[in-house]
Amino acid sequence: MAQSRASKKLMNMVYGLGAAIVILGALFKIMHWPYGNLMLIIGLITESIVFTVSAFEPVDDDLDWSLVYPELAGGQGSNKKKEQPKDAEGLLSKKLDELLKDAKIDAELMASLGNSIKNFEGAAKGISPTVDSIAATKKYGE
């Protein structure tokens, strides 16, 4: 026995409105506004009615995903040839090599990058005492 779209939409609206009433009741109660107790009672009664009604709703049929994904049913999938990596590291290394080649990044460029990083590190270590001195001067000035 399937529910119509209109009845599902109506129940969805009832759930939302019931939850909104509970939230408003809790807000009134937490903020100690007038009628907070009454709002909370009305909200909780509304929510209990909504849950009671939802307990008797029919359950939707489960979708048969094996129709879309035959491997879920133990069947055969489409006949697409998948590349089965015999050596995962080998394929990854090969792809990385191709990417580096396309980007024109070679060993010489990598060595140059390494040297630049080392030079930057040396420069940073060289200015470290100056930075410490400036910080001490600023602290003294305050």
Q: Is the pLDDT of residue 84 over 70?
A: no
3-state secondary structure of 134: helix
The C-alpha atoms of residue 102 and residue 113 are separated, in whole angstroms, by 18
Q: What is the pLDDT of residue 1?
A: 40
Q: What is the pLDDT of residue 119?
A: 93
Instruction: Give the model confidence (pLDDT) of 108-130 as tens digits.
Output: 888 999 999 999 999 998 898 89
Q: Where exactly are the structural domains of the chain?
A: 5-59, 88-141
The C-alpha atoms of residue 141 and residue 98 are separated, in whole angstroms, by 57
- Determine the angle formed by the axes of helices 5-30 and 36-55, rounding to 10 degrees: 150
- As a whole number, mean pLDDT of residues 57-71 equals 81
> Is 42 in contact with 24 (CB distance < 8 Å)?
no
Q: Is the pLDDT of residue 83 over 60?
A: no
Residue 78 CA from chain centroid, whole number: 31
Instruction: Give the model confidence (pLDDT) of 90-107 as tens digits.
Output: 788 888 888 888 888 888
Q: Which stretches of 31-106 are DSSP H helices?
A: 36-55, 88-102
Q: Is the pLDDT of residue 133 over 60?
A: yes
The C-alpha atoms of residue 104 and residue 129 are separated, in whole angstroms, by 39
